[in-house]
Amino acid sequence: MKQSKIILLIVLLSVMTASYAMSNYSALQEGAEAQTERKPDASSPAQYKSTLQEPEMVAIASGGFQMGSPAGEAGHKKDEALHVVRIKPFELAATETTVGQFRQFIQATGYQTDAEKNSGGHAGCYINQGNNQLGWQAGASWKNPGFAQTDEHPVVCVSWNDARAYAQWLAQTSGKPYRLPTESEWEYAARAGTHSRYSWGDTASHEKANYGKDACCGGMIEGADQWPYTSPVASFAPNRWHLYDMHGNTWEWVADCWNTTTPEEPFDGSARLTGDCSRHVLRGGSWSDIP
Ligand SMILES: [Ca+2]
Ligand SMILES: [Ca+2]
């Protein structure tokens, strides 16, 4: 489990570094993706419904899976003890939330992000300052993260508050129950029925995802990964359940509060709403670290 993200982002040379860095900031400024769930039968009128860019959703079947990681796996932490979780069916966005989707929310509501409000005692966004060094950048926001993005890139400099606000707006506008996924739902979807460290196997690969430097060697750009920062969503093949960029590109926010211990039963796929709820959990790694 990684901390504050999700979506929106940070960069670090390693997953562990990233997770601790993020955990220190309640107003997280990472590239976040608001992955959401909805039920197919909900509908209601909404002002922006006719032009709303709803995410492409993927139906995820119910099932059980072993959450966490083996004690001997690289990067294993004490809150990742293996435990079986039962997941109810839900739908998840196929991609990270894009700049274009997020802009529609801002234009409809006039919402100001935490980065734009300099919330949490920090100015701007916690993001790459160049040379893969992370820090708070005054003036940086989803509109100006410090590197070029198109509407097809995942939105960054989005705090958990911002991600939740987007999901709530999407739900209200569409009449469908969009929300942030729970951490167990996210991990279930990221694993897509596999038991390996990554959904494609146990070895990180720039042929499979946009991430930073490998621990051993190489650079931010290798092979099919031609991006030093974010890549357009779905630039790499999806996992077996047709979900894109679950590893790398941007961290992704989930609904759960931050905890340093493995959860107690029931393992029913719900979010952990106890612990340190001034911080939330980010998953999946980003362009700047190993997924
Ligand atoms: Ca890269
Ligand atoms: Ca991602």
String of DSSP letters for 30-96? BB--------TT-----TTTTT--PPPEEEE--EEEEES--TTSTT--GGG--EEEEE--EEEESSP
And the tokens for 220? 């931010």
Tell me: the pLDDT tens digits for 165-211? Answer: 999 999 999 999 999 999 999 999 999 999 999 999 999 999 999 99
Measured in angstroms, how far is the CA atom of residue 47 from the centroid of ligand 2?
Answer: 30
Measured in angstroms, how far is the CA atom of residue 185 from the centroid of ligand 2?
Answer: 14
R_g of the chain computed on alpha carbons: 17
Half-sphere exposure in the Cβ direction for 144 (13 Å, CA): 6
DSSP helix/strand/coil, 114: helix
| CATH code, 80 | 3.90.1580.10
Tell me: the pLDDT tens digits for 76-130? Answer: 887 788 889 999 999 999 999 999 999 999 999 999 999 999 998 889 999 877 6
Measured in angstroms, how far is the CA atom of residue 230 from the centroid of ligand 1?
Answer: 7
* Closest ligand to residue 204's CA: 1
Measured in angstroms, how far is the CA atom of residue 92 from the centroid of ligand 1?
Answer: 24
Distance between CA atoms of 269 and 63, rounded to whole angstroms? Answer: 10
Q: Which residue has the higher pLDDT, 205 or 132?
A: 205
Distance between CA atoms of 271 and 257, rounded to whole angstroms? Answer: 8
Measured in angstroms, how far is the CA atom of residue 63 from the centroid of ligand 1?
Answer: 33
**Which domain does 164 fall in, by range?**
10-283
* Closest ligand to residue 207's CA: 1
Measured in angstroms, how far is the CA atom of residue 230 from the centroid of ligand 2?
Answer: 10
- 8 Å CB contact between 289 and 267: no
Assess if residue 290 is contained within a domain: no
Distance between CA atoms of 239 and 251, rounded to whole angstroms? Answer: 16
Could you tell me the pTM of the whole model? 0.82
Lowest-confidence region among 10-19, 62-71, 136-145, 156-165: 10-19
Measured in angstroms, how far is the CA atom of residue 283 from the centroid of ligand 1?
Answer: 17
Number of structural domains the chain divides into: 1
Tell me: the pLDDT tens digits for 24-50? Answer: 222 233 334 444 444 433 344 445 566
